[in-house]
Amino acid sequence: MLTMILDTFRDAFDYLDGPPIRVTGADVPLAYAKTLEQNSM
């Protein structure tokens, strides 16, 4: 997976307006209850 990302980044770097950033959720533990888990995603 990382290889695919790096290849895409290398090929598309000239088209970017700025450096890529990582977009993730908050670093919190996931709930075990199914409904709470769905709400946190």
Predicted local distance difference test score (pLDDT) of residue 13: 76
pLDDT tens-place values along the chain, 41 residues long: 778 887 887 777 778 787 778 787 778 777 778 887 777 66
Q: How far apart are CA 26 and CA 36, in angstroms?
A: 15
pTM of the model: 0.30
Distance of CA 33 to CAs 7, 13, 28, 37, Å?
38, 41, 15, 6
Predicted local distance difference test score (pLDDT) of residue 41: 63
